[in-house]
Amino acid sequence: MDRVAEDWFARRTWQDPDWSAADLVAAKAGRKVSVVLPALDEEATVGAIVEAVGPLTRHPSPLVDELVVMDSGSTDRTVEVARAAGARVVLRTDVLPELEPVPGKGEVLWRSLAATSGDVLCFLDSDLVDFDPGFVPALLGPLLATPGIGLVKGFYRRPLRLETTQADTGGGRVTELLVRPLLAALRPELGGVVQPLGGEYAATRELLESVPFAAGYGVEVGLLLDTCSALGLDALAQVNLGVRKHRNRSLLQLGVMARQILAAALPRCGVPDAGGMLTQFVQIDGEWLPSATAVDAAERPPMRQVLVR
């Protein structure tokens, strides 16, 4: 590991976060916390996550002030399930209606800034299985208790779930095969970040409204790179969340995801992207045929340029 990354890892990594909700309520010091779940066709899992986070909102002095599911155009019962479980559901067309929505996770995360009021936001993927509500205080801990931190990433062991079997490790394939080598080559100071693409993280509104958002799957690596560039490495921290289980995707789907991530990461590292389509090959009736996908490189500007508060 790069020496700078090694030093950061030693100072900004919490391997056994033990903040209680009560400890952090005191550390809020008047700040509000919003928990946001981006969702697209997650009826099977979103309700259980909302129900698990719910008690953090119902205490007389709550750790979480608002719990919002940002729906990205679901065609299943995600909206109904999330509402029944107790979340406020916001459709992507409900906020900034003058802007036509574009597809992608980053798009709804960006719009969530206009739909929430928290000084600190905590993002949780809505496809998690066996969700642990302890993720929330663990992610909020460094932000609320340590001055100077703007973005906290969660890291975890990621089992690889394949149909009816499960390997103990092996999830995070795009991280290990693309993003970690990319950072080692172009931004080695970030080599200590265990899960650069992880969907569980928390950040200050001040930071989130000051940086652009990649509209698609490049949103996490974009926020990581932009935070480091804008505020310095010490504005980043990470916490061990234990185990994270979610739906794993096919290699073809991961290829499209990886191309979007490259489109967000390369310009932020000073490397031009030619914008070429991703060509993959599928076997049909014994023949291998090309299938081309255009790269989704859409970016949303910093929210403070859009909102006039």
CB 268 within 8 Å of CB 225: yes
For strand 201-204 and strand 287-293, is the pairing parallel, antiparallel, or unpaired? unpaired
Residue 109 to residue 119: CA distance in whole angstroms: 15
Among residues of the chain, what percentage have pLDDT more than 90? 85
Torsion of CA 185, 190, 195, 200, to 10 degrees: -140
CB 229 within 8 Å of CB 143: no
pTM: 0.92
Catalogue all structural domains in the chain, each as residue range(s) with its CATH number: 3-305 (3.90.550.10)
In this prediction, residue 161 has a pLDDT band, given cuts at 50, 70 and 90, of very low
The encoded tokens of residue 167 equal: 């390997």
So what's the pLDDT on residue 86? 97
Shortest CA distance to 228 belongs to which of 238, 236, 220, 239? 236
Three-state secondary structure of the chain: CCHHHHHHHHHHEECCCCCCHHHHHHHHCCCCEEEEEEECCCCCCHHHHHHHHCHHHHCCCCCCCEEEEEECCCCCCHHHHHHHHCCEEEECCCCCCCCCCCCCHHHHHHHHHHHCCCCEEEECCCCEECCCCCHHHHHHHHHHHCCCCCEEEEEEECEEEECCEEEEEECCHHHHHHHHHHHHHHCHHHCCCCCCCCCCEEEEHHHHCCCCEECCCCHHHHHHHHHHHHHCHHHEEEEEEEECEECCCCHHHHHHHHHHHHHHHHHHCCCCCCCCCEEEEEEECCEEEEEEECCCCCEECCHHHCCCC
Average pLDDT over residues 133-157: 96
In this prediction, residue 246 has a pLDDT band, given cuts at 50, 70 and 90, of low
Q: Express each pLDDT in 177-236 by its tens digit.
A: 999 999 999 999 999 999 999 999 999 999 999 999 999 999 999 999 999 999 999 999
The amino acid occupying position 250 is S
Q: Express each pLDDT in 17-57 by its tens digit.
A: 989 888 999 999 999 999 999 999 999 999 999 999 999 99
So what's the pLDDT on residue 115? 97
So what's the pLDDT on residue 143? 96
Q: Express each pLDDT in 252-301 by its tens digit.
A: 889 999 999 999 999 999 999 999 999 999 999 999 999 999 988 899 99
Q: For residue 126, is pLDDT > 90?
A: yes
The encoded tokens of residue 270 equal: 């000073």
Q: For residue 165, is pLDDT > 60?
A: no
Residue 302 to residue 179: CA distance in whole angstroms: 24
Q: For residue 168, is pLDDT > 50?
A: no
pLDDT averaged over every residue in the chain: 92
